[in-house]
Amino acid sequence: MSALFQFSQRGSIRLLILVLALSLAQMNYAASPKPVRGKNGMVVTSHPLASKIGSEILKAGGNAVDAAVAVGYALAVVFPTAGNLGGGGFMVIRFPDGSSTSIDFREKAPMLATRDMYLDSTGEIIPDKSTLGYWACGVPGSVAGLNYALEKYGTMRLKKVIAPAIEIASHGFPVSCTFHKNLVFLAPVFKQFPASAKAFLKQGQPYAEGELFVQKDLARTLKRIAKKGTDAFYRGKIAELIVAEMQKHHGLITVEDLAAYAPKERPTVTGSYRDYEVISMGPPSSGGIAIIQLLNILEAFDLRHSGFNSSRYVHVLAEGLRRVYADRATYLGDPDFWDVPVQGLISKAYAEKLREGIDPLCATPSCDISAGSPQIYESDQTTHYSVIDKNHLAVAVTTTINSGYGSKVVIEGAGFLMNNEMDDFSAKPNTPNLYGLVGGEANAIAPEKRMLSSMSPTIIANDGKPFMVLGAMGGSAIITSVAQCILNVVEHDMNIQEAVDAPRIHEQWLPDEIVYEERGLAFDVLENLRKMGHTLSETHNYRAEVNAILICPRTSTLYGAADSRYDGCAEAF
């Protein structure tokens, strides 16, 4: 049994966690130039402590689901920018026998939500109402989803997998440079909400780098969940605290909303790219459909011969993405409320029809592209983590509170942030949200409806065996980042760390532009793309983070890669 769980049984886990945290505070968190190798398990997350906790769960005999749930609770403590109890997400599981399933624990609109709740009397969007404060909050699903996964597919008790998160919340972890900078930037916003200021500021000031960040209220919340499970959050004391906060500040979430919430197990959406099987999340995520649709379009092009990030490669990639995002805006939404033409959208025949409209030498203006007709072919801030165990049970989880630190609202006495996922609905048709995405009736606001998401937890299989486990944070850039990482491995023979770190582009139909990372495209490539008619925009702060695992088909060696753009970590065992 690992040291972590030996310490846990003696009631001294806090000592190990604090020693580990203090040592990690001195480390450079950037991903290594080579992938991390392992044989019996791999965990890749956005924070070194969370990765370590997941790895220790595997060492203690837990399976990948046990580790994923432990990581989810740990991230709620050590990565509050996106890890959460007050948000939601998606989990994709591939079992050793090749079967798969997905768990939808996306947030829901409160029962009091209305179609035009974010519009003023003239029909215009009210600034910040869907992104900041109490009206921005959807009914959270993370606790229900993680616990559902553990109860159905895990092997350990909730008390054991949640124990490390409780100890870190109770006794603190050192504030990193990135966390300190976030607190400095957000301090004026947190001061608008007393409970948030209490949680994230010390005597009104941001915590200093290296200072211990202790979360006593959050620790009590986690203890309640450990003792009474899901009911503690949705029907017990935590629910009372959520509703009290909402009533005090005229929010919409009620006792009835929380009691009625339940996660949903759904079939995965599957497709193929050359010899690879693609297993991903279906609606209300747009990610799986969009990735499969894009890969279907690109499959007929010789991307390998074109070369990585050549003008020809970027051109066809961008043209495929334009068409995918146009369909996303029209057809995708909560399948419980909207008839999503899934099989049509991921059909090879439909992709061929879309491909016919791509000129190999000239860009198609986005204003000339509208959604296709897939029916005739029928037959955000976010965090992603990837886990695989010694039996090759693979789990991909993407969870979110939408923008960084969500609605900026902390629940008084409970210590956790609430999401601002209501902004992921189409508050007004064809009007961009926080990430510049537009939508229509398929994603209109309705009571108890799940908002559309770009989250893309994905598993790639080859010859009946798992090959990649990956996903990303980054709002609308999640889809493009995951797809490019897959192509980097399959078409450009990169190792998984190279594939994650390689410069990316982003195109989402509207606005009509290719966004590229600073120094990510050569000068002659930029010139050629402009001559083709593309509008180009350089970014100095690419917001997507990919965390991925690759399984060598020959040796079954596991290779983990955390995105070097951020502070994540791969842990092998």
Catalytic residues: 382
3-state secondary structure 364-390: CCHHHCCCCCHHHHCCCCEEEEEEEEC
435 close to 323: Cβ distance less than 8 angstroms: no
What CA–CA distances, in Å, run from 136 to 106, 301, 466?
Answer: 15, 43, 38
What CA–CA distances, in Å, run from 153 to 65, 276, 323, 445, 498?
Answer: 6, 26, 37, 33, 33
Sheet containing strand 88-94, edge to edge, reads: 264-266, 100-105, 88-94, 394-400, 382-389, 41-45, 569-572
Which residues pair with residue 359 across a beta bridge? Answer: 362
Query: How large is the C-alpha radius of gyration of the chain?
Result: 22
What CA–CA distances, in Å, run from 143 to 108, 399, 404?
Answer: 14, 11, 19
> What torsion do the CA atoms of 208, 209, 215, 216 make, to the nearest 10 degrees?
-60
84 close to 142: Cβ distance less than 8 angstroms: yes
Residues 6+ apart with CB under 8 A from 497: 31, 32, 33, 34, 35, 559, 561, 564
Plot region of 556 (φ>0 → left; ψ -120 to 50 → alpha; else → beta): left
Pairing of strands 536-539, 514-517: parallel
Question: What span, in angstroms and rounded, lies between the C-alpha atoms of 563 and 155?
Answer: 30
Question: What span, in angstroms and rounded, lies between the C-alpha atoms of 456 and 286?
Answer: 8
Amino acid at 246: M
Amino acid at 356: E
Which pairs count as long-range contacts for 350-357, CB under 8 Å and 24+ apart, including other chains? 350/293, 350/296, 350/374, 350/377, 351/293, 351/296, 351/297, 351/299, 352/300, 353/377, 354/297, 354/320, 354/323, 355/297, 355/300, 355/320, 357/323
39 close to 552: Cβ distance less than 8 angstroms: no
Buried b (16+ CB within 10 A) or exposed e, 545-570: bbbbbbbeeeeeebbbbbbbbbbbbb
417 close to 408: Cβ distance less than 8 angstroms: yes
Angle at which helix 158-171 crosses helix 216-228, to 10 degrees, equals 170
